[in-house]
Amino acid sequence: MLSSSSTAVKDLLLKKRLCFLLKLACCVSSVLIFCEFLIYYVVIFQCRWPEVKGGAHMSKKETSTSVLKAIILADTHLLGEIKGHWLDKLRREWQMERSFQTALWLLQPDIVFILGDVFDEGKWSLPEAWADDVRRFRKMFKFPVSTELVVVVGNHDIGFHYEMTTYKVNRFEKVFNFTSGKLITRKGINFVLVNSVAMEGDGCTLCRAAEAKLVALSHKLNCSQQKPNHSNKRCSDVEKLPASEPILLQHYPLYRKSDAECTGEDSASPEEKNIPFKEKYDVLSQEASQKLLWWFHPRLILSGHTHSACEVLHAGKIPEVSVPSFSWRNRNNPSFIMGSITPTDFSLQKCFLPYESRVFTIYCAAGALLVILILAHFQLLTPPFYFAQHLISKHKAV
């Protein structure tokens, strides 16, 4: 009789423990699933495509055929084998993959532009390390057939000017089908891809070739924008392109003194804003910047490199948007740009990704709650009622 009663008590205790462990496992799993998966949907779901002028009066069918939906991001900096710790690499790549794939699924863009510094160690990685970096990039940034991916070269992909070689440039071009001075035309909109690392202006072989392609392309675009009744012998044999002012896509920003005039929560920190920029390192030189403006007369310039957001006007009318880094390794609040673009107009909207500090706060709060539950379960935590009662009785005794 006593034996069967004791067995029943043991079984009950075992069931309670298993039930408690199951509850803990469910709590931990729920927090992990939310912080590592669902949070990206919750945050990116709030982002909306901006409307261009006249877009509000278009039907969905008209909008889909005339407005190009573009996502622009920059500075992913996939870590390499030299500087990248495996845990840091695993964490950052998971964050970027989930953000990118969630954005594609929710927003369904027509095209995605990455404005350079795709890799962190492309400037010195050996062939095996380069192949591994490319493999990981393709896994993270895979895309459906309905979306196009265009990648611009950055200094971490091929090195700064003094590190840039034909071999590094060729292997990047082979993987991403990128060439400086390449024109991409979609829905009548002209995008010009620029190898800004080659805009050194010192006459190096790669620099001369890049500039020659840009000059030839600018001639085509300028001829295409001339009025039909305007006769120009130099344009008689030139291939006609859509008569739309181009959008420049490059890694280095055009010349500006610093980020002092930049505003917004994802602009540079107050300490960094007043640090003067170094030409040909932080930004393009004044000479190279003037060349690009003169050659193309762009209606918009999109750049990266600084890891912080900034909007400036060149010559008082040409806007440039510096896109902040897409990696949490560089920012607590990464983001990307959503652009609704037509041949004559554009509208941009920023989409922020989950703040890493908030994710960390959720983990800390969940951890503290689990500790309290465990202590309470094993009766190691004094219930507040009994604790208060003990204080009152102690006070009366005094």
DSSP annotation string for 371-397: HHHHHHHTT-S--HHHHHHHHHHHHHH
Radius of gyration of the chain from its Cα atoms, rounded to whole angstroms: 28
| Interior/surface letters 103-114, b for 16+ CB within 10 angstroms, e for the rest | bbeebebbbbbb
Residue 330 pLDDT more than 90? yes
The confidence score (pLDDT) of residue 38 equals 96
pLDDT exceeds cutoff 70 at 3? no
pLDDT at 4: 65
CA distance 158 to 253: 17
Helix/strand/coil for 72: strand
What pLDDT shows up at residue 297? 94
**How would residue 383 be classed by pLDDT, with cut points 50, 70 and 90?**
low
Query: Which residue type is seen at 281?
Result: Y
pLDDT tens track for 40-53: 999 999 999 999 98
User: How far is Cα 272 from Cα 297, in angstroms, rounded to an integer?
Assistant: 30
Do the beta carbons of residue 272 and residue 230 sit within 8 Å? no
pLDDT at 46: 96
pTM check: above 0.85: yes
pLDDT at residue 213 greater than cutoff 90: yes
Distance CA 239, CA 220 (A): 7
Residue in the block written with tokens 């990464």: 334
Straight-line distance from the first to the last Cα atom of the chain, in angstroms, rounded to the nearest whole number: 50
Write down the pLDDT at residue 23. 84
Give pLDDT, residue 315. 87
Q: Which of 158-162, 228-232, 318-322, 355-359 has the highest mean pLDDT?
A: 318-322
Cα 71 from Cα 150, distance rounded (Å): 10
Residue 85 has phi, psi (to 5 degrees) of: -70, 140
pLDDT at 222 over 60: yes
Under CATH, domain 61-226+236-354 is a member of which superfamily? Metallo-dependent phosphatases (3.60.21.10)
Residue 61 has pLDDT above 60, yes or no: no
Average pLDDT, the chain: 89
Provide, rounded to the nearest whole percent, the portion of the chain with pLDDT above 90.
71
Local structure of 158: helix, strand or coil: helix
* Tens digit of each residue's pLDDT (9 = 90 or more) over 338-362: 999 999 999 999 999 999 999 999 9
Q: For position 386, what pLDDT does the model report?
A: 53
User: Which string of b and e fits 252-277 if b means at least 16 CB within 10 Å?
Assistant: bbbbbebbeebeeebbbeeeebeeee
Strands (E), the chain: 68-73, 111-115, 148-152, 182-186, 189-193, 247-249, 300-303, 310-314, 318-322, 335-341, 346-352
| pLDDT value, residue 18 | 85
Q: Is the pLDDT of residue 57 over 60?
A: no
* Angle at CA of residue 21, ends 18 and 27, nearest 5°: 140
Please say if the pLDDT value at position 122 is more than 90. Answer: yes
Q: Is residue 384 scored above 70 in pLDDT?
A: no
**70/112 Cα distance (integer angstroms):** 6
Of 376 and 360, the structure prediction assigns the larger pLDDT to 360
pLDDT tens for each residue of 230-286: 556 778 778 888 889 999 999 999 999 999 999 999 999 999 999 999 999 999 999
Q: Where are the chain's structural domains? A: 2-35+358-395, 61-226+236-354
pLDDT grade, residue 224 (50/70/90)? Answer: confident
What would the mean pLDDT of 27-32 be, rounded to a whole number?
92
C-alpha angle 103/108/110, rounded to 5°? 120
CA proximity to 168, closest of 116, 124, 203: 124
User: What is the model's pLDDT at position 243?
Assistant: 85
